[in-house]
Every structure is written in C-alpha cells, then in structure tokens.
C-alpha cells in the first residue's frame, strides 16, 4: 500500500518493486503469495480492515445519533478529499467497476467486512430509535440502504462539486442528515 499511496499504478507495479520497498527478496514474496494479484488483494484486505476498524471506532465513540451520522459523513469526506488514501488509490488505480466486482466476489474477507459495516449502521439506527429521532422500520436492509445512500450521495456531491468551504460542507452534511431523518421516519 505504501507504493500505491505514493502514486505507483497497480497495473504496472512489479513484485520486485514491492519486495524492494519492504526490504526483502522477490523470491521471499513468492513463498507467501502465489501471484502479484494475490499479494495486492491481501494488502487491500489488510488496509480495508484497518480503515474499517478505525472508522467504526470513531463512530462508536461519537455521542448520539446525529453525531454518529456526522462522524460517518466526516469519514466519507476525508476519503474523498485525500487522494493519497487507500480509497483514493482504489478508485484511481482499480476503477469503481473492478472494485465492485472484487467486493462482490466470493471472498469471505469482504463478506465479513460488509457484515461489520452493516452491524455498525444497525447500532447507529438503534441509537436513533432510542433517542426517538427516527422510527424503527422493521427492515434492517432498508435502514442500511437509507444511511449508505445518503453517505454515498454526500461523498459524490463532494467529489463532483465545488464544496470547498467548511460552511458549504457543513450545509451538505445537514442536507444529508435531513435526508436520513426523512428516510427513516
């Protein structure tokens, strides 16, 4: 991930370059990984695990439904604005279609991560219900979809628009939050 965060293209990177960057021989890499693709996939999984765990910790530490939603939006903002982040790397090197295909693969690591994300969203929804900010929908899939859609819409608006001032971004967060409230009431 270090090389990729430095701007090395995933399609042109060589195993020898990866080995050199971590101070081992190319042969040592092949003792642990069958191919460059397997090495990159395992690196991606490792990075995603770290990123998701940090994000969930931030969300869990936030107080109340609104703060938890704003924390999710802030995480999305940071990922959109930091082109050197792992997510910026993914979409600039891999492309959203390739990444979506990888996410939908039969890889158990990705399914596990998806379950953790969904559980985190379910916990946020429970906080909102407890605070009586939102109503329970008796449909976890719908509740997850509402929150994910608002966050993706927020991230897309940041990526495609010129929301540059903190005030603009705050207003966009407010709109996204209101969208979630409407969708879950």
Reference 45, options 57, 33, 31; nearest CA is: 33
Cα–Cα distance for residue pair 75/69, rounded to 1 Å: 10
Angle (nearest 5°) at CA 107 between 101 and 109? 115
Give the residue, 23 or 2, on which the prediction is more confident: 23
Render pLDDT for 96-130 as a digit per residue (tens, 0 to 9): 555 555 555 556 667 788 889 999 999 999 999 99
8 A C-beta contact, residue 144 and residue 79: no
**What string of DSSP letters covers 21-32?**
HHT--HHHHHHH
Domains in the chain with CATH codes: 36-183 (1.10.357)
């Amino acid at each position: 991930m270090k090389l990729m965060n430095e701007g090395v293209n995933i399609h042109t990177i060589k195993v020898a370059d990866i080995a050199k960057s971590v101070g081992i021989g190319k042969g040592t890499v092949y003792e642990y990984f069958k191919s460059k693709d397997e090495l990159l996939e395992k690196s991606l999984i490792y990075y995603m695990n770290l990123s998701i765990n940090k994000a969930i910790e931030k969300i869990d530490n936030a107080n109340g439904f609104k703060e938890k939603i704003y924390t999710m939006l802030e995480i999305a903002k940071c990922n959109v604005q930091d082109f050197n982040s792992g997510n910026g790397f993914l979409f600039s090197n891999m492309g959203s279609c390739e990444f979506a295909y990888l996410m939908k693969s039969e890889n158990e690591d990705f399914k596990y991560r998806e379950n953790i994300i969904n559980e985190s969203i379910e916990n946020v929804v429970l906080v909102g219900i407890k605070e009586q900010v939102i109503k329970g929908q008796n449909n976890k899939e719908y509740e997850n979809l509402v929150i994910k859609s608002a966050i993706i819409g927020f991230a897309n608006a940041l990526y495609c628009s010129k929301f540059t001032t903190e005030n603009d971004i705050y207003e966009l967060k407010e709109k996204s939050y209101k969208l979630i409230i409407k969708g879950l009431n």
